[in-house]
């Protein structure tokens, strides 16, 4: 378990390769990054470089998307802090609102989507990149 973590987080793959490997569009991949589901590294020249872990995560996301889960659901699953671009002033109110929502509506939302998603047990904590390496 030592260097394995390092290896799996090593930034190696261009977005073109990741598109092929995941069957996602560049737009989708960038959109998921925008929503902080992944955080690929960058070259000096600002090109994205993805790790095995990034690709695994994208495969998981794709899985969820294919099963009808939306961004909000996926964010909940990965507990990514909600709220994308709100002014500091709005934030307080938004936070309050969110808290009010979270016990009622959010639970409902999650339950609905997860149940609808059907089978759902990725026992391993990573996607299917193992396909590509032994």
Residues at the contact surface with a second copy, assessed by CB under 8 A: 3-4, 7-8, 10, 12-14, 16-17, 43, 49, 52, 131-134
87 phi and psi angles, rounded to 5 deg: -65, 155
Distance in Å, CB of 128 to a second copy, minimum: 12
Q: Whole-angstrom Cα distance, residue 40 to residue 30? A: 10
Q: Which is nearer to a second copy, 4 or 87 (CB)?
A: 4
116 phi and psi angles, rounded to 5 deg: -60, -25
CA neighbor of 121 nearest in space, from 78, 73, 72, 60: 60
Within positions 40 to 79, which residues make up the interface with DNA, using CB under 7 A? Answer: 43-48, 65, 70-72
Q: Is position 93 an interface residue for DNA (rule: CB under 7 A)?
A: no
Distance in Å, CB of 88 to DNA, minimum: 19
Q: Whole-angstrom Cα distance, residue 96 to residue 93? A: 5
Interacting residue ranges for DNA, rule: CB under 7 A? 14-17, 19, 25-28, 30-32, 43-48, 65, 70-72
């Amino acid at each position: 378990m030592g260097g394995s973590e390092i290896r799996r987080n090593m930034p190696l793959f261009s977005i073109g390769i990741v598109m092929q490997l995941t069957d996602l569009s560049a737009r989708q991949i960038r959109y998921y990054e925008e929503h902080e589901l992944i955080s690929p590294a960058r070259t000096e020249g600002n090109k994205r470089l993805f790790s095995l872990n990034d690709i695994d995560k994208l495969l998981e996301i794709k899985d969820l998307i294919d099963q009808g889960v939306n961004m909000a659901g996926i964010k909940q699953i990965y507990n990514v802090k909600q709220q994308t671009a709100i002014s500091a002033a709005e934030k307080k109110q938004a936070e309050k609102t969110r808290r009010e929502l979270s016990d009622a509506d959010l639970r409902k939302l999650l339950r609905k989507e997860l149940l609808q998603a059907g089978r759902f047990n990725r026992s391993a904590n990573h996607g299917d990149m193992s396909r590509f390496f032994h």
